[in-house]
Structures are given as C-alpha cells and as structure tokens.
C-alpha cells in the first residue's frame, strides 16, 4: 500500500490534487470536535452577520455560526457516504464472489436479484420510504437503505473478475489441495478483486453523497441532523439568496464541490493505476 501511494503521488497529478482537496475537507470535518456550540443549537450568535474575523463564514438567520455548521455538516456527510459504501461494498463483494465462482443456478439466482435491483428507480423509492417512515427516518436508516440498493453494478463487475479466475490453474490447484470454497475466495481471489473494490468504493461514495444532498435539499431526510444538504435546505427555507445571505449557501456548496472533486480525482488516479495501459503511459510504470 505504501508503494502504491508513493507511485500515485509521484506520477499522478490527479491524485495529488484530489488528496489535497480531500485532506482539507477531512481537516474541516475534524474541527467539528472543537466547536463551542452544539450543532442543534440556534440563536447562539448574532443572526445574518457577514463573513468577518469574528465569524469567518458568517452566520445564519437561525443564529448559527456557518463555519462550525459546515464542519459538522461535512463530517456527517462524509460519515454517511462511508456508511453507504461499507454496506454496499460488503453486499457487492459477497454476491460477486459467490456468483462468479459458483456459477450454475446460484449465479442465475443472484444475477436475477442483481438485475432487479439495478432497474429499481431509487429516488422515488427513498421518497416513498420517507413518507411511510417519516417519524423514524433517521440518518443511519437512510444510509442502510441506500447501501442496500447501491451494490448491484459493482457486484456484476466483481463477478466478471472472479469468473476469469475460477478457470485458471492456481484455482484448480487449490481445489485439488483440498481448500474450501471460502478459503479460495478470501485467500486467492479476493486480492485480485481489491483494486476494483477500491475504485468502485470512491465512485459509490460520490453517488451516495450526491443523492443524500439531493434528498436533504428537498427535505426528504432528517433535517435536524446537520448535513450539507440540510444546511442548503434551511437556507432555502429562510430565502437566504433573496435576502442577500449568500454565505449560508456558498460555503456548504464549496465544501461539497471540494469533496466531489477530490474523490473523483482520486478515483481517476486509482483507475489509471489499475489499468496496465495507463501504467505504460507513466502511472507507476514506464514513462
């Protein structure tokens, strides 16, 4: 891993830029632990104050310091993306490994489930869940729901990798030596799948964070938990742009753009590192 990171820093400008952007976002989120205010507290500072030396990002019409609210919001938004990515990666990994290795009726059954999940229109389903479970729709429940729907594309990709591995000689050698299916998948096939898993994790985080921001802006989530979308929702409720309180929307928007751009660039660099043709063009390989 250290060698991979060293090569990416040395050869990939995209990775360097993405790492700096994500690092700044992580630093901002870490500062939430130093906040003098509770994220749910309102009217703790003068409302509608523009950015200044006292209030770096200004204050909101609800009497909240935008700087500290953004730090809480970006932390929760990143945790949301990580939770969705973790749940969906586990599902994609298990289903992709088992389906690709077993084949037969197991493969057909799992891929039928996979194709069903792919065609489900996710946004209307999540909105429906919100209206049905309005009083119980928490941040964690939304993350688990999105994780349960966000694995299908990557499971098929992992399956295709495993299907090429099961016919190779080292897999046959493992079978003849008496290794169990679980041992073959975890010890022999998983290392080949990990590069794909890493790159799809970043893409999945961008997708889940973007969908969460969309739902929050529309008010279809727990708006009392500070997130980037939740901040924009409250700004819209108070007509911030009409009232000239541009900083209430500008700074959360800048934070989420930095997050998207950083994760995207790191994902591009990871894909280039995985692709042998890209390595031949200078990404960790011969310039």
Q: How far is the C-alpha of 166 from the C-alpha of 65, rounded, in Å?
A: 56
Q: How far is the C-alpha of 24 from the C-alpha of 14, rounded, in Å?
A: 16
The pTM of the full predicted model, rounded to 2 decimals, is 0.85
Q: How far is the C-alpha of 112 from the C-alpha of 66, rounded, in Å?
A: 47
What SS3 class is residue 179?
coil
- Per-residue confidence (pLDDT) for residue 285, from 0 to 100: 46
Using CB atoms within 10 Å of the CB of residue 195, give its burial: 0 to 12 exposed, 13 to 18 middle, 19+ buried: middle
pLDDT per residue as tens, the chain (287 positions): 566 667 777 777 888 899 899 999 999 999 988 888 888 888 888 888 899 888 899 999 888 999 999 999 999 999 999 999 999 999 999 999 998 888 888 889 999 998 888 888 888 888 888 887 777 777 788 888 888 888 888 898 899 888 888 888 888 888 788 788 888 888 888 888 887 888 788 888 989 898 888 888 888 887 888 889 888 999 988 888 888 889 889 999 999 999 999 998 888 887 777 665 555 444 444 44
CA nearest neighbour of 61 among 254, 245, 231, 250: 245
Q: How far is the C-alpha of 60 from the C-alpha of 55, rounded, in Å?
A: 11
- Torsional sign, CA 54, 55, 60, 62: negative
3-state secondary structure 192-249: HHHHHHHHHHHHHHHHHHHHHHHHHHHCCCCCCCCCHHHHHHHHHHCCHHHHCCCHHH
- Torsional sign, CA 107, 110, 113, 115: negative
Q: What is the largest CA-CA distance in the chain?
A: 74
- Is residue 47 within 8 Å of 63, Cβ to Cβ? yes
Count CB neighbours of 239 within 10 A: 11
65 φ, ψ to 5°?
Answer: -75, 120
- Is residue 227 within 8 Å of 72, Cβ to Cβ? no
Using CB atoms within 10 Å of the CB of residue 58, give its burial: 0 to 12 exposed, 13 to 18 middle, 19+ buried: buried
- What's the topology of domain 39-261? MetI-like fold (1.10.3720)
Count CB neighbours of 61 within 10 A: 18
Query: What are the domain boundaries of the chain?
Result: 39-261
């Amino acid at each position: 891993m250290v060698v991979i990171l060293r090569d990416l820093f040395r050869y990939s400008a995209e990775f360097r830029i993405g790492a700096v952007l994500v690092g700044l976002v992580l630093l901002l989120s870490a500062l939430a632990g130093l906040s003098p205010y509770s994220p749910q507290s309102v009217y703790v500072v003068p409302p509608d104050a523009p950015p200044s030396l006292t209030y770096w990002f200004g204050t909101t019409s609800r009497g909240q310091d935008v700087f500290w609210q953004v730090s809480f919001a970006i932390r929760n938004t990143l945790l949301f993306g990580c939770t969705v990515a973790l749940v969906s990666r586990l599902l994609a990994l298990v289903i992709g490994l088992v389906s690709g290795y077993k084949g037969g009726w197991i493969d057909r059954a799992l891929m039928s489930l996979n194709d069903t999940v792919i065609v489900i229109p996710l946004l209307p389903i999540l909105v429906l869940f919100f209206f049905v479970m309005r009083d119980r729709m928490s941040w964690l429940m939304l993350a688990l729901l999105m994780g349960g729907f966000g694995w299908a594309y990557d499971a098929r990709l992992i399956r295709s990798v495993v299907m090429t591995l099961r016919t190779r000689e080292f897999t046959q050698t493992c079978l003849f030596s008496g290794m169990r299916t679980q041992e073959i998948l975890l010890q022999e096939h998983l290392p080949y799948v990990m590069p794909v898993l890493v790159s799809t994790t970043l893409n999945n985080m961008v997708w889940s964070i973007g969908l969460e921001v969309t739902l929050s802006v529309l008010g279809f989530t727990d708006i009392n938990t500070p997130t980037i979308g939740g901040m924009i929702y409250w700004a819209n409720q108070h007509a911030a742009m009409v009232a000239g309180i541009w900083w209430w929307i500008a700074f959360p928007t800048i934070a989420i753009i930095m997050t998207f751009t950083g994760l995207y660039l790191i994902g591009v660099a990871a894909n280039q590192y995985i692709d042998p043709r890209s390595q031949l063009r200078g990404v960790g390989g011969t310039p």
